[in-house]
Structure 1
Amino acid sequence: MEYDHTSDLHQDFLNLLENSEDFNVKFEIGKEPNIKEFEAHSLILSTRSTYFQKIFSKYWNWNEEKEVPVFKKPNISPLTFEILLKYIYTGTLSVDDEASFADIIVAADEFELQTLVQQLEKHLIQNESAWQLPKDFIKICQHKQFPNLGKYALDLACRNPKLIFESKNFLQMEQDILIQLLKCDDLELKEFEIWEHLIRWGIANTNSTTIDDDLTKWTPMDFNNLENILHNCIPHIRFFHMSPNDYAKVRGQFKSILPSGLDAEVIQYFLNLNANPSFNVLKPRVSDYPFDSKIVNAKDAALISTKPILSKASSKDGAIMWSKRKGPCFSKDLCIYDGSSSESSYNNLFDFSELLDNPNDYDVKFKVGKMPNVKEFEAHSIILRARSNNFLKALSNHSTKRKDIIIFRKPNISPLVFEILLRYIYTGVLSIKNDSINLVDIIIAAEDLGLLRVCQQLEPFLLLNETAWNSPKDFLKICKHNGFPDLVKYSLESICKDPQIIFESREFLRMEESTLIQLLKCDDLKLEEVEIWKYLVKWGIANIDPILNKNLKGWSSMDFINLEKTLRNCIPHIRFYQMLPDDYMRIKAQFKNIIPNSLDNEIIQYFLNPNSSQSFKGLPLRTSSYSFDSNIIHTKDAALIASWVDGKQENPYPILCGISRGPCFGLKDLCISNVPSREGTSHGSIVDLLENPNGFNVKVKVGDVPNVKEFRAHSIILCARTNNFYKAFSAHSARYEDGVITFMKPSISPLVFEIILKYIYTGLLTVDNNTSLVDIIIAADDFGLPKLFQQLETHLLHSASAWNFPKDLLTIRQHDRFPNLSEFALKSGPTVIVIKVRNSGECIGGYNPLEWFSVDTDDERSHLLSPSFSLYSTTNSFIFSLTNRAIPILSRVSSEHEAIFCSNSKGPCFGLKDLCVTHSHKDIVGTSRQYSYEKKIINSETFEIEEYEVFQIFDKRSNS
């Protein structure tokens, strides 16, 4: 069970930042006159950033004084630093319109906040409106550690050049950034305009205040200075692509700064376009060619003109044809009829089957299969690269060559399967006409070759067609491939339903250990545990010595040692405690040497005292081993209903139990606490402070003798998270020893306090089934955690399974601070009714959280609204249908004042008409019309009931 209170945690740490009474670090941020001072806590900063961890460690190694250190950051603006400081404390980035994302990402990179850097980079690339041009463009281009962002910034500048070139920032731009812009083919400015902007930039960077705007007044030194400034930029100006008139203006003013000989060659080029200049003629910018097309743009036109065509003419005869009826034709490969492209011709363009059947110019060979069934295939690397990323990678760094032919060996794929997939690569058609071909072999080979589309098509087909499987071999093959989690799940479920297909097959003895362990972990494996053990021993013997004597009396000690080594990783997954004691004792007598002593002792202790606490009991009971006493529903149905009772919408609870308890469903009865990892949680590292409490200044001694435990903590976090601790520190209601504050809490158990302390530090509440929620809520009230108290109270009021009876009842009634829980503790009687409909076999039912026929009208707390009609009010009841177990229907009450209706003449009824049971003179009849609940659960308004069952929902399966 887990509650997520991280939003509260964020707010608490924001308050800590904004009211930093215990700060021990100062920062001076910005340049004059815009300097601002910030106060912070080194503990928080070091926990969240390795950068701060390093600078603080270095500072305190060299400075033993207890003065507050001041760190200066003139390169970061106060606004940017404030945003990042709040992010460090809260995990939330809040940016207003004034802040620059470029400034933030550069500063975040300096502070080594890599998760934030990755998120900001993605945001800037996907949101053009997030850029402040030209400032952000210049900022990003100055920092080489963002190559993708730098590329995007250049593209953005090329599409919006005037925002860059006509800004004040342009004149202060560094030369290398300007050269990056000049190199861009996509710069959407005429070349003469680029030249004019370059001259402006050059004049502004000559560091001369005497240069006149009138060029006629320039001295030779002025031109010389300008040439020196522009020396590295001029080679990137595309003079050959200016108009003659524009170039005449350039040479008329600045001929003296042009490279020697360039002027003459440009003039010669304009006079004779076939001239071959010695200077490198840069290709024209895309913007120089306004391209009039609604289908392709200038870039596409440039690609067509400069790249080789995919499908070259194979015959010069009839390569190009034209007729009034057809329009232009490229032989028969691509024709235009009445202005539309021929669809069949399009298919021919990409069908390379002829190239596969007659592999001229091949440069790849495949040797496929194992001896004696090995076959060679020839192929073309260009096709393989285009069709598969796996081949793209393999062919880019291949090392196996013979006369320029690249050789691949695929012994794990059969020639027949490879031929099908190679033809698919060339044609795009997956054709399987041979019934002997195994689809599982094809999907595994397709994954190996990187043919994702084939995998995507075959996987649903295999999931929906049981006959497509060649079991058991196929099941075992799939289980070895992590690339198909759904197929692995399907395979395991199929084996669990009919385990003999695997365990009695030859393939079982050759099964890999990892696959066998997958099977042993399955809760649904329909075998008695003693049978599973026998199969495991059989597998173990086959994998050490197949001819080993089956009579154990003839075994040597080395035989047992070898068997123990072989089964060492499998034995922990055998659920010995589910066996009968006699069965286990027989196993022990035969295989005592291979069962760990600690495990053997625990099992014996468990058989002597089933209520003893043993580590192996964490393994759930196999579903097949517990006979659920119902003719209508099974254990998985019960688990789903239990999850609905606890307010869940879809997923059933896992089924967990021990022999002495039977199955348990719901929150508190689970035997394993499953706390999912929280990727991206901003304070995931704060828990490290608790587990390794360096710099602690608080001790809390918890529990009563002899069960006393000491915990260490940090006052700034305790005060930030709970008012009661803040008041306790302010009132000095604690002992001080050597600067460490000590609290005594004898009334709280160490286990409960540890849970509460982790909640204070992380915002997450993790509770296993050994801990009482009532004890936790009392402690939460004691420490002043109102949000946690409210959620626990709500949960306890709505989930009877969360109570540990009778202990929790007695505990809660001893505390007068919890009137709602005390009232709830006096109630009982929730039930589930399950109905099987005659003829159709439909399975429907309902959950009543109240007692049926409770008519205590004098009790003010009664849910009874009308004593004459026995009408009850509740928001927690529901009705359901399990007819289609793949898509069950859950219908919760929509009119709470009509939730439950009872009368002696009618029997139980959910809502006024939604699901009612009545007794006729012959049969039990049901009626259903949607009225007081969200959904209709059965189409028939009247139906005969073949049988129905009533299950009482107990607070806990065992009081022991």
Structure 2
Amino acid sequence: MDIDLTQTLLRDLRKLFENCEDYNVILKVGKGLSFHAHSIILKNRSEYFRTIITEYINKRGDNFSNKLFKKDFITLDMPQISADAFKIIIRYIYTGYFSFDGNGINQEFLFDLIFAADELKLYDLVKYLQIYIVESNPNWIKNNLIQIYHTSFERNFTIMQEFCMKIIEKEPTLLFKSNKLFLLKESDLIKLLKRDDLNLPEIDIWRYIIRWGIEQEPPITASEIKKWNEEFVELERRLHNLIPYIRFFSISATQYYEEVRPFSKILSDKLKDEIDAFYILSNNAPPPDALPPRRLFRRETILRRQQGLNQMRGGNNYNNINVTRMNPIYHMNNNNNDNDNNLFQMNRNSIIPTPIPPEISPYPFEKHKNLSDLDIKSKNKIMCIERENSPILNIGELNSILINRTQAKRIVRWIGDNKYFRVCGEKVNNSYMLKLLMRGTGGDGMSRETFHFLCDNKGPTVIVAKVDKSKNIIGGYNPFSWTSSNKWLQTSESFIFSFKSDGNREGFDDIILSRIKNQTAAIYDGDCTFDVGFSLDLQLFLGIYECKNYERKIMTEKNFFVTDYEVFQVVKVCDDD
């Protein structure tokens, strides 16, 4: 039969620990406090002691092992370990047991304890202490986040690493707004900057790393910054390894001009040229090696959404709200077979509805001054308007799976009727190219983050979208650039439309054009926090339609889902005869 007398063994080892009979090791810990121990116990319980005791004996010669039995002691100095912490650890080594008063224990001492356990390679104890610290002292970790974050990576405390990263993912400002940010090691900061899910607007990240660089030793004062010429070299040196991980192409043109450009001396000439081209040239995309925008977590967005809803309910003026540009990505749920094609069925609750315009008042929109110049093909519906010298579509350039050439031609005519584009020379002979910027199901993705990354600062654009479980194609025209400015754009040139997806049909009932009637509420140029759409009428990501500020009703449904969409840059090609 089997008999388990483990408890008796542990009791006897505890006696050995308490009376230290026949000890052969003297441990001088901390500032010199001595502990007595047995080499056989230390070597078998700790990899650290096995290594250091073996090395000690080898250095003393072949006869030293024999001398140990004659009270020739092994003396080890361990000044790096706290004596108070070692009192608990030596008991654990002998008995597998330790205790401390969790309610009255000093948190710094607890960290000394895990530091000592790690130094002595007592990995089971290290794991337990990590769990204890995380579960019982989360606020202490938050208050000392920078030091603990650094130590957890330096010491490979994986449990504490994960906990710190969860804090930073949810509340990155706890770290970046800390007055101890300058203590964060460059390598630790790079780890954070590399993360696509760092939950901060890119312009805020830029501000924080500038602050980090300025506060490094020796710190640079504000007065010195204003005088800087060659001193910029020092800031560039400090930030040289961080700058490659800043997503400059996720920063708006205004933010770049106001906050990045003053420090442009620390950027490489190549990077400055790429950024300038991106903001100045309307058809220029980010370079191929540009890092993608970061993904923001739903928690942050929900807080902003709640704030936005509260402000709307309170009747506040959204023109005065300064919403920082964010780049959230929302993951699609394709587990439900009914929604396999519904790529827009994301976390709708994470989108702030388009804010109320500054004024909602009737706007006397006059579509045409001289109706005799027009050929109106339907008395009941103004849908198909032909005009002399109407602009034509450069057919060879159309790249679409949602609209055909006939529909594209019609959209171009609608744009041309607005006289938005100037004619070239005296003779009107204009053609337009609809240049595809993105397609939802074509690998670009269906998020507002991707939309703004690929479509901001591209000049006039047309959006077309396929409505789920119908043949309807809906869309709209924005004569301005999308810039994520969080401002209302006033124009009489924008319009929304709908037609059947089988565009070979030319029945008038299949085509509906709706021009803006309230120019103060034409387009809300929101960032990734808000929806993409046209006034309060057509909000694509939320799937909301209401005939309010545009002339005509383009669809009967008030709620809809979009299965795919395309965004085209409207490029004019002028031919002078």
The TM-score range, normalised by the shorter chain, is 0.3 to 0.5
Higher RCO, Cα 8 Å, sep 6+: 2
| TM-score for both structures, normalised by structure 2 | 0.48
| Structure ID, larger Rg | 1
